[in-house]
Amino acid sequence: MTMLPLYLLVHLLGYGLLISVLVATPILERYLRRAERYDDALTLANIVSNIGLLSPIAALILLVSGILMMNLFGYTLFSHGWLTGKLLIFLVMVVSGIYSSMTVGRERRQIYHDLIDGKDNPKLPGKLLQVHNRQSQYTRIQTIFMLMILIFTVYKF
């Protein structure tokens, strides 16, 4: 078990990266909603999207280091219910995160481009608010998934 400290360190780094994304996103979302100019908001929306690209990297780090630690301890996918639960929640979290970031990010940037171009559609501000609210909801859901994974890790049901 000499590799355990290294695997654990890498796993904790991946977890920290994922937590950083989940903390940075709502903070940047707040600034994004308060932006006075659409150009500034579009810049912030691009930053939020770029930070969101760290999530798949963190997920890959967590998955690889987690599997390596499982093998180190002699666990299989179905040997422990808590471990299977963690992996399933993690899978749902990753898939929903990828879907939400792609759809919300693309839609939000398109709305900002339309607003910057001066398109006279009175529904755009309302659509923008809906997109912002969906992003906030996805961030809360991702945080709940993270907490569930942490609970399974600590309590090992």
For residue 121, the model assigns a pLDDT of 84
Tokens for 69? Answer: 């630690």
Count structural domains, the chain.
1
Q: CB under 8 Å to 22, separation ≥6 — which residues?
A: 139, 142, 143, 146
pLDDT given at position 55: 85
How far CA 115 is from CA of 32, 35, 71, 119, 131, in Å, comes to: 14, 13, 52, 6, 14
| pLDDT the model gives residue 157 | 62
DSSP string, 38-56: HHHHHHHHHHHHHHHTHHH
Query: Could you state, in chain order, the average pLDDT of each consecutive group of 10 residues for the chain (157 residues)?
Result: 85 92 89 90 89 86 90 86 88 87 89 88 89 89 89 81
Q: Which domain holds residue 130?
A: 4-69+77-155
What's the distance, CA 70 to chain centroid?
Answer: 24
